[in-house]
Amino acid sequence: MADEFEEAALAFGAAGSLLGLDLGDKTIGVASCDPARRVATPVETIARTKFTADAERLKKLAADRGVVGFVLGLPRNMDGTEGARAQSTRAFARSLTKAIALPVALWDERLSTAAIDRDLIGLDVSRAKRAAKIDESAAAYILQGAIDRLNRRRG
């Protein structure tokens, strides 16, 4: 996975904001990072409708933030294999690059949602508030892992 990610991430260049995406069946969690790629922060959760509407919202967010690329969480199985959700995510990535002229790099997202949920439970965040923030927080977790990898590579 790292090789695939790093190869795709070369298209991002050395600096510039990125959007991190946590793709779900009903929502897309969105996070962004600063142009120096130091810190990822949650942005919003998009309620999915049709791909064209979802892509338009992502295009607007990317334009508003001067984004140079997307980091899309790839939901692999625990043993590293890819199931139906991973294939669906790869299809979304292909469609996204056609709809928005920005590169997409896939980041192994195993356990990202579970890790965020555990953190929020540890902070005593109510179930309702966790549900409202989990997707964009998972997107920030995914993006932070990716930018940390990119910074170590530059390092």
Domain count, the chain: 1
Please indicate, yes or no, whether the overall pTM of this predicted structure exceeds 0.85.
yes
**pLDDT tens digits, one per residue of 23-66:** 999 999 999 999 999 999 999 999 999 999 999 999 999 999 99
Tokens 């980091």, residue? Answer: 71
Share of the chain above pLDDT 90, in %: 66
Domain coverage including residue 8: 2-154
Question: What Cα–Cα distance (Å) separates residue 127 from each residue in 54, 66, 130?
Answer: 26, 34, 5
CATH number, position 88: 3.30.420.140
- Residue numbers in the chain where pLDDT is lower than 70: 1-2, 110-132, 154-155
